[in-house]
Structure 1
């Protein structure tokens, strides 16, 4: 069973959706499932040093500080219900996520899901800047990836341009928001749906 996951590593709903998907997958044979991770850059205009998070989000969402806090509180509660931490008080920067997607691309298949979760944790729990090569390398090392060439591979401009191109391609396929899931190139699931929704769709497609 093939599952394509379109996500961004600073999207809280993507972390929630990933948790629901993997909770559902626990009921299926892991060896029969192949997951492909696809970048969907929410805002590639953010510089590597990032922007101050709350000001950026207020402007992006056109919200007052009170409305923004309400949005964060609601999303945090949804995360808690799913079993993930979304500590918006600890997030200081709106960051560029190209490097984090490049790391996922470079990661050996057996470790990809672990690395994806480590990236989410670094941002939503530790408030780290995913636009920093040093931070991304440290995340890789925490997952057992310690290649001396990794920093240079992360900095490769052509490879980073390819990440941007893949994100643009997703939009050309009418994927306008994330998370977005495609099962066996046919069934499309938009948003961080419930575990039960994933179980139902996975059960049907695992029999095909």
Structure 2
């Protein structure tokens, strides 16, 4: 108990989120998470958040593809693609996000973006970089498979642009990112965002903030009691 505030001392936990930088539900889920964390804080729980890679399109060419062609091939028609985009945009708007499908021209390979997220974790700015990548792709329509764009986006979120440039010019982080992606698939994961705690999968999907908070709190209590 904090003697100055007479409130319980915050208990620390960790959440690990498996996501892809081009997954709109991951962006929406991030907003729901940001609403859930203050609910947990009121109960004396403080969670550190870490982001992990998953490729929605593991067979995507390195240079990406033209989005409208890709979506038409994936969903059978341009009309069906537009219907799904409208559903996503509506769900995003409910949590204050603007998704501009009209600005999105390419569907990228996301390995490079995941490597930038991996690097950001090592420099303490991962959440800011994840946010910047989501915003760049979904709201600004930028190609987050392009190294030059990634350097600019990451620099704006607090990473050293020279460090990002050097990393992307080599293979740093590639083995780690691909290894985590394969590990998730090997565990049977086929949808993101997926929220885990202490190696336990809690749920997948952009569920409402209060549902998230309840699930995280319950999981934390169960796992803490097991460790006691």
| Aligned residue pairs, count | 207
State the structure with more CA Rg.
Answer: 2
Greater RCO structure (CA 8 Å; 6+ sep): 1
CA distance in 2: counterparts of 1:102 and 1:156, whole angstroms: 11
RMSD: 1.9
Q: Contact 1:49–1:129 at 8 Å: present in 2 too?
A: no
Deviations 1:75-132, CA, capped at 9 Å, x for gaps: 1000101222221111100101111111111114531111101000010011111111
- Which residue in the other structure is 1:28 paired with? 40
Alpha-carbon contact 1:48-1:132 (below 8 Å) kept: no
CA distance in 1, matches of 2:48, 2:145: 28
Structure 1 stretches lacking a partner, 5+ long: none
Matched position secondary structure for 1:37: strand
Q: 2:23 aligns with which of 11, 24, 41?
A: 11
Matched, 1:152 2:152: no
Give the C-alpha shift of residue 194 in structure 1. Answer: 1.1
**Aligned residue number for residue 47 of structure 1:** 61
Q: Distance in 1 between matches of 2:181 and 2:199?
A: 18
- For residues 130 and 192 of structure 2, what CA distance do their matches in structure 1 show? 15
Pairwise CA distance, 1:183: 2.5
Please tell me whether residue 130 in structure 1 is matched to residue 150 in structure 2.
no
CA distance in 2, matches of 1:141, 1:158: 18
Distance in 1 between residues matched to 2:151 and 2:45, nearest whole Å: 29
Match of 2:77 among 64, 85, 88: 64
Alignment correspondent of 1:199: 213
Alignment partner of 1:113 is 2:105: no
